[in-house]
């Protein structure tokens, strides 16, 4: 289980934390059953007072990974706690782009959960690889697009130090536009194909295009956006022989069928 120090850190009890740290028999880095240290648990609280207290000590490891390979920075980035992320980034002994056991970096977690402030801070660092692929080939842009985090997608596309590969494919050959289209994220779909390096009609392993995915799922707004483009084939078939209109009809998406017919 968790040590008294870890429990106090999790609850944000700064005075208890200070008292415990004064004892010579208290290990400030002792992990719990999940491998999380007191500092790791302290990042779960938006109030970063305990984080400050722990980081004041030179014997606290600010980069200790838990059993899933996640560091305090990874947890703070996922939560979107900007002040805590800033505090951790001030330390020289932290790896900013450290992947966890599934290959997700702090930037990946912040992008997935739409934490724009954390994404902005991390993108400002020179040692960040914004195109790093995690499990199944997911990149920060791909997970942000899939979740419909428009603000994060914008921030990533504006990155200049290391150009974002906006049309990168995961292990299933799915791209950010396809991921966004399948989830019905109109604004993201509008952003991505606007770039010259993005193919709006690029299919995945099953020859599913963004248009076909959107039609199959009944996302009329996305279908309308894609039909306005001259580089999208509205009659393209997937490996099962389905077209956008047949897929929409099969699932009863009549608004989409009307758009495709008209």
pTM over 0.75: yes
Q: Which of 116, 138, 165 is the last residue of a domain?
A: 165
Assess whether 123 and 173 both reside in one domain.
Answer: no
Q: State the Cα angle at 176 between 170 and 177, rounded to 5°.
A: 130
Assess whether 146 and 217 both reside in one domain.
Answer: no
Assess whether 44 and 100 both reside in one domain.
Answer: no
Q: Which of 165, 198, 227 is the last residue of a domain?
A: 165
Q: Which of 61, 88, 111 is the last residue of a domain?
A: 61
CB 153 within 8 A of CB 189: no
Assess whether 210 and 230 both reside in one domain.
Answer: yes
Assess whether 159 and 185 both reside in one domain.
Answer: no
Q: From residue 169, how far is each of 153, 173, 205, 213, 230 by CA, in Å?
A: 16, 5, 10, 16, 22
Backbone angles phi, psi at 84, to 5 degrees: -70, -40
Assess whether 132 and 161 both reside in one domain.
Answer: yes
Which value, in Å, is the radius of gyration of the alpha carbons in the chain?
22
Give the CATH number, domain containing residue 55: 1.25.40.20
pLDDT in tens for each of the 262 residues of the chain? Answer: 899 999 999 999 999 999 999 999 999 999 999 999 999 999 999 999 999 999 999 999 999 999 999 999 999 999 999 999 999 999 999 999 999 999 999 999 999 999 999 999 999 999 999 999 999 999 999 999 999 999 999 999 998 756 899 999 999 999 999 999 999 999 999 999 999 999 999 999 999 999 999 999 999 999 999 999 999 999 999 999 999 999 999 999 999 999 999 8
Assess whether 171 and 194 both reside in one domain.
Answer: yes
Domain carrying residue 189: 167-261
- Of 156, 120, 118, 121, give the one whose Cα is nearest residue 139: 156
CB 75 within 8 A of CB 42: no
Assess whether 94 and 55 both reside in one domain.
Answer: no
Q: State the Cα angle at 204 between 198 and 138, rounded to 5°.
A: 75
d(CA 169, CA 122): 23
User: In which region does residue 114 sit, left (phi positive, over 0), alpha (psi from -120 to 50) or beta (all else)?
Assistant: left
- Cα 183 → chain centroid: 15
Assess whether 79 and 145 both reside in one domain.
Answer: yes
Assess whether 178 and 213 both reside in one domain.
Answer: yes
Q: How many domains does the chain have?
A: 3
């Amino acid at each position: 289980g968790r040590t008294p120090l870890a429990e106090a850190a999790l609850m944000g009890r700064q005075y208890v934390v200070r008292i415990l740290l004064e004892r010579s028999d208290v290990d400030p880095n002792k992990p719990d059953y999940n491998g999380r240290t007191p500092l790791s648990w302290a990042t779960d609280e938006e109030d970063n007072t305990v984080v400050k207290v722990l980081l004041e000590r030179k014997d606290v490891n600010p980069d200790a990974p838990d059993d899933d390979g996640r560091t305090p920075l990874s947890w703070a980035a996922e939560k979107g706690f900007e002040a805590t992320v800033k505090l951790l980034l001030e330390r020289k002994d932290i790896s900013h782009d450290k992947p966890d056991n599934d290959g997700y970096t702090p930037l990946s977690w912040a992008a997935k959960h739409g934490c724009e402030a954390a994404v902005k801070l991390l993108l400002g660092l020179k040692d960040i690889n914004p195109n790093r692929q995690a499990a199944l080939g997911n990149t920060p842009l791909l997970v942000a697009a899939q979740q419909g985090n428009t603000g994060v997608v914008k921030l990533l596309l504006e990155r200049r130090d290391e150009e974002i590969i906006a049309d990168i494919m995961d292990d299933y050959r799915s791209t950010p536009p396809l991921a966004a289209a399948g989830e019905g994220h109109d604004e993201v779909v509008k952003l991505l194909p606007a770039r010259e390096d993005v193919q709006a009609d690029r299919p995945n392993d099953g020859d599913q295009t963004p248009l076909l995915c959107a039609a199959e799922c009944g996302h009329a707004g996305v279908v309308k956006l894609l039909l306005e483009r001259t580089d999208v084939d509205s009659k393209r078939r997937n490996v099962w022989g389905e077209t956008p209109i047949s897929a929409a009809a099969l699932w009863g998406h009549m608004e989409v069928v009307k758009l495709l017919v008209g």
